[in-house]
Structure 1
Amino acid sequence: MELLQSTLQAIQPVNKEIMKQAREKVDALCKPPGSLGKLEQIAVQLAGITEKLELDVSNKAVISLAADHGVYEENVSNNPQIVTVMQSIGFAKGFTGVCAIARAAGAKVVSVDVGINADLPETSGVINKKVRYGTANMAKEPAMSREEAIRAIEVGIEVANDQVKQGVNVLATGEMGICNTTASSAVLAALFGYDPGEVTGMGAGVDSIQHKIDVIRRAIEINQPNPDDPIDVLAKVGGLELGGMAGVVLSAAANRIPVVIDGFISTVSALIAYQLEPKVKDYIIPSHMSEEPGAKIASELLGLEPMLNMNMRLGEGSGAALAFPILDAACSMMNTMTTLEESNQYMQQIMENQRS
């Protein structure tokens, strides 16, 4: 609890004065004002986050947190739970979807066990930060205790802080956990009063969406999570990896670096962080619009518009990694484009040289 509290206290607003200077610089570049659209917005946001006009996001890391879910017992996924183990090790070894995209973007993937329902071999390369062996079945009892929920958030903070100490200057959130769309839909419904039918989709595959909806509805009815207390909601119907990703978002804001969020599950986790400290919103860069029906709702609640629509729903942090080159382009625009005034001076110099 102490780490969570100190992290929340460390989060400061983005620097509005630097953002004003960045906007003036962007508008003065050799182009029609606003013609580079969201790229300009990203550059201004990065300036406010880092308090610098010379932008750099060259040291990238996707933190993919993995955990299992007791609600698996309710047959809300067609996939065997062992997939969580397989993919987590795959993150560490570099052969999953997010790894392929991250490699192309020049980013590393950090694989973390925050609650896998198995012991991984020491040679797996996965960082062991296990809080417990998966959550309990939220359709019968709380997914975890309040203390465990806080610890899951602090795992995300610890891992992110460690990456920042190693020189990482932009983070992304990723996850792995069979049934974590079930937990994400439950958190979204419980936090904001939606009926589970409005925010629940197929996830990685389920025989009956209606059954999945009914399980989520039962979990909320049994546990009665308090919508005014995001930690209570996380503990009763959430997941350990959701808590971990919320912690990554909080750490990024406390360390004044941007954090790119992936799709539905990452956005719900970002909402948990936002409910704990609203100032984190200005440090978040949304990547893509997931195919999950709750994704659009979650993004609207966060007040952020994803920049990509690629019909993706893999998770893992794949969409966030795909967005990294857009941040690079925003930095290059800010750092290397000439202003209109500089361009005019350059052309005048050329004309003078020709006349002489």
Structure 2
Amino acid sequence: MPEFNIKALNSELRSALQAKIDQKTKPLGALGRLEDLALQIGLIQQSLTLTLVNPTVLVFAADHGLADAGVSAYPQSVTAQMVVNFLNGGAAINVFTSQHGLELFIVDAGVNADLPSHPQLISAKIAKSTRNCLTEPAMTPMQMLQAINTGANLVQQQHNRACNCIGFGEMGIGNTSSAALIMHKLTGIGLEQCAGLGTGLNQQQFNHKLSVLQQVSAQHLVNTPLDALSHVGGFEIAMMVGAFLRAAECRMVTIVDGFIASAALLVASRIKPEVLDYCIFSHVSDEQGHALLLREFNANALLQLNMRLGEGSGIAVCYPLIQSAVNFLTQMASFSDAGVAEKLT
């Protein structure tokens, strides 16, 4: 496991940031959560002048052997088909990142197909799918560490090109099952509360999914976060663990998507709790376990739109709010600048 030197946010600048927020031409607290965002971003960047440079979404795609057990409404082949759709610009994440000026890259973490080369595709395949964790650990410890390192290195590459705001999406048939198992193993919350409808299961299909997950859970003894990741995780989830950790080490503003990304963050936060200081939670997914998982982080997501798509879609939809928080702090006049009288004391 690589070392990640993540420091808790230095609060020495907090009073100066708060004073700058309060001196804008508005009543105290009138911009609500945007003021909280500006304060957090200022502490992350350790600056009174905030910037968002080269904001980027990395979508990690991989297949899961557990899909063979019928835990999804879609066949495993849809993972590769959706990656091609991403590369052709036809998915929701393409629409939203284009709309809001975010760069988008797709990472082949372990798709069970040979994918065409493309400028937006990063080839980082660990293997063509994890193994079926119903019968054996999903990945070897070596594969898990390779995936964590790869995710960290990909974020480092983005940081090296001056990107200071990043988010992580995912695509992988069966990965809500993997996320539910990780959540269950690391929090002790019952599987019936962690698991959800995923890609749109009916009640009979959900009952089958829950039965399979209970069988998987009974077969895997987990003592550490990395045990959970290697036994029941996915290559895309493992890469996101490394990505979250490196993003925090690089002091990047990190936007968290939905349930599967949050499961990866759960693993990362159990390794380095300070990682949460750098995270902005974009939305509450409609996937059942996500709201409970956000409580584990003591997090208050910005949006609740009943979305459960993945792909990083929540990141892209939320990004204009983050822009607004940065822009009001850097562009809005203060009372003295505008010649406006402050509140009487």
TM-score, normalised with respect to structure 2: 0.95
Distance 2:328 2:237 in 1: 34
**2:84 pairs with one of 89, 102, 119:** 89
In 1, Cα distance between equivalents of 2:179 and 2:236: 10
Q: Distance in 2 between matches of 1:343 and 1:31?
A: 11
- Deviation (angstroms), 1:346: 9.1
In structure 1, which of residues 197, 219, 224 is the aligned counterpart of residue 221 of structure 2? 224
Query: 1:345 and 1:35, CA in 2 relative to 1: closer, same or farther beyond 3 A?
Result: closer
Tell me the secondary structure at the aligned position of residue 26 of structure 1. helix
Structure 2 residue 282 is matched with structure 1 residue 287 = yes
Secondary structure of the structure 2 residue equivalent to 1:22: helix
Deviation at 1:320, TM superposition (A): 0.7
| Aligned partner of 1:139 among 134, 137, 149 | 134
The residue correspondences of 1:181-192 to structure 2 (distance < 5 A) are: 181-192=176-187
Corresponding residue number in structure 1 for 2:93: 98
For 2:211, which of 203, 210, 214 is the aligned residue?
A: 214
Aligned partner of residue 339 in structure 2, secondary structure: helix
Aligned length: 340
1 CA distance for matches of 2:298 and 2:128?
34
Equivalent position SS for 1:122: coil
Structure-2 separation of matches of 1:190 and 1:288: 23
- Tell me which residue corresponds to 2:8: 13
Q: Deviations over 1:89-123 (max 9, x none)?
A: 33233221111011111001110011111221234
For 1:289-338, what per-residue CA distance to the aligned partner results, in whole angstroms no more than 9, with x for missing partners?
A: 10011000111101111100111111000001111111110011100112
* Per-residue Cα deviation, 1:169-191 (whole angstroms, up to 9, x for no partner): 10011000001000000100011
Structure with higher helix content: 1
Give 1:337's aligned residue. 332
Structure 2 CA distance for partners of 1:28 and 1:141, relative to 1, 3 Å: same
Q: Secondary structure, in 3 states, of the residue corresponding to 2:108?
A: strand
Deviating more after overlay: 11-20 vs 128-137: 11-20
Decide whether the 8 Å contact of 2:25 with 2:340 is kept in 1: no
Q: Partners of 2:84 and 2:149 in 1: how far apart?
A: 22
Larger Rg: 1
Cα distance 1:341–1:193, how it changes in 2: closer, same or farther (>3 A)?
A: same
- TM-score (norm. length: structure 1): 0.92
Q: 1:119 aligns with which of 114, 120, 123?
A: 114
**What's the CA shift for 1:285?**
0.3
Question: Per-residue displacement from partner, 1:63-82 (whole Å, max 9, x unpaired)?
Answer: 10000000011111121212
AA paired with 1:122? S
The structural deviation recorded for 1:125 is 4.3
| Distance in 2 of aligned mates of 1:150 and 1:302 | 24
Alignment gaps of 5+ in structure 1: 348-356
Between 77-86 and 278-287, the greater mean CA deviation after superposition = 77-86
Given that 1:91 and 1:109 are in contact with CA atoms closer than 8 Å, whether structure 2 keeps it comes out as: no
Moved more, 87-96 or 77-86: 87-96
Give the match for residue 148 of structure 1: 143
Structure 2 unaligned runs (5+)?
A: none
Q: State the match for 2:194 in structure 1.
A: 199
Shift of 1:15: 2.3
1:171 and 1:260 in contact (8 A); partners too: yes
Question: Identity percentage over the alignment?
Answer: 34
Partners of 2:94 and 2:246 in 1: CA distance? 23
Alignment of 1:1-356 (within 5 A): 1=1, 4-5=2-3, 8=4, 10-123=5-118, 125-207=120-202, 208-226=205-223, 229-344=224-339
Please give the per-residue CA displacement for 1:2-27, whole angstroms capped at 9, x wherever unaligned: xx21xx1x211222112332112111
Tell me the distance in 1 between the aligned counterparts of 2:297 and 2:226.
Answer: 17
RMSD between aligned alpha carbons? 1.5
Distance in 2 between the 1:125 and 1:89 partners?
Answer: 11
